Amino acid sequence: MLNAIIIGCGDIGIRVGQQLLQQCRITGIVRSKKSAEKLISYGFNAAIFDLDQPASALPAILSDSLIFYFSPPTENGEQDLRMKNFLAALGSSPANPTRIIYISTTAVYADSKGGWINEQTPTQPSNSRGKRRLDAEQQLIDFQHQRPVNISILRVSGIYSANRLPFRQIKANQPILQLEIAPFSNRIHADDLANICIAAAFKPTKSVAIFNVSDGNPGSISQYFKTVALAFNLQPPPEISWKAAQQMLSPGMLSYLCESKRIDNRLIKRELGVTLCYPTLASGLKQCATELK
């Protein structure tokens, strides 16, 4: 039976592991005993490893394992030190995994003023969040040049699911940018992302494969908040001007609103054979409502 190791086995890792449990031995690697106990309840093996500690030794990794790397980067700077520590530990191991599947972000691309972005679009992150992810991508590619391991990089747009909807912000009456001036943003349902991660593990033939991940139907964050509110019979959030947004919204939200991108998802369909379960926000929210009931 194939070994699948999930580094940073949170929500997406659990979704991936549950799908692979019948064909793989699943080991989730997390930071706390509580998280490890949760994974064991799903039938996974669990190990504790702190990616913030450069001297840590990875749990035993067998050759020909699949490694899903879902751990977020460090929060400051322009380098992902956690990826650096992980690859240093992996490099000191004699094992050669079959493939590493890494969840990156579409923030590695520059603002396209609403234009479409595909995998050939040059990377040019405008904020430190995107720079850390691009640094992690490059670390993986450099590692692949030294060791016989294949790499799949998934540049993922905003993830949503029943347990990731912005109910707190909507109920707090947090304002949104006026719909007519709100920039494009992109999203993917968590179940579709898990399916894409699995396809990226088994189907690519390239030694380094890069895929953009979205549902292919861009909207805006304002449209997203308003649609969620209407779908769950909540009061729609108030709309404000850009000038008011600069005064009222958080720096994190403003950083998203400063960019407008439309993510082309045709490559995951063509090369990975992916058929999305939730190709529109409406279909995804319908599933979320069913799950929450």
Position 59 scores a pLDDT of 73
- β-strand pairing of 24-30 with 2-7: parallel
Position 113 scores a pLDDT of 95
Structural domains in the chain? 2-163+187-215+262-274 (3.40.50.720)
Position 55 scores a pLDDT of 67
Query: Quick one: pLDDT band at residue 265, thresholds 50, 70, 90?
Result: very high
CA distance 112 to 95: 41
CA distances from 118 to 7, 262, 280 (A): 27, 9, 19
Radius of gyration in angstroms for the set of CA atoms belonging to the chain, rounded to a whole number: 19
> Quick check: 139 and 104 in contact, CB under 8 A?
no
Position 54 scores a pLDDT of 78
Query: Quick one: pLDDT band at residue 271, thresholds 50, 70, 90?
Result: very high
CB hemisphere CA count around 140 (13 angstroms): 29
Question: Could you tell me how many residues make up the chain?
Answer: 293
Position 187 scores a pLDDT of 97
The percent of residues in the chain predicted with pLDDT above 70, rounded, is 98
For 200, the token pair is: 């990226």
Position 148 scores a pLDDT of 87
Query: Quick one: pLDDT band at residue 64, thresholds 50, 70, 90?
Result: confident
| pLDDT tens track for 140-172 | 999 999 988 999 999 999 999 999 999 999 999
| pLDDT tens track for 218-251 | 999 999 999 999 999 999 999 999 999 999 988 8
Position 281 scores a pLDDT of 97
Three state DSSP letters for the chain: CEEEEEECCCHHHHHHHHHHCCCEEEEEEECCHHHHHHHHHCCCEEEECCCCCCCCCCCCCCCCCEEEECCCCCCCCCCCHHHHHHHHHHHCCCCCCCEEEEEEEHHHECCCCCCEECCCCCECCCCHHHHHHHHHHHHHHHHHHHCCCEEEEEEECEEECCCCCCHHHHHCCCCEECHHHCCCECEEEHHHHHHHHHHHHHCCCCCEEEEEECCCCCECHHHHHHHHHHHCCCCCCCEECHHHHHHHCCHHHHHHHCCCCEECCHHHHHHHCCCCCCCCHHHHHHHHHHHHC
Q: What is the mean pLDDT of residues 119-146?
A: 95
Query: Quick one: pLDDT band at residue 75, thresholds 50, 70, 90?
Result: confident
**Is 60's pLDDT higher than 80?**
no
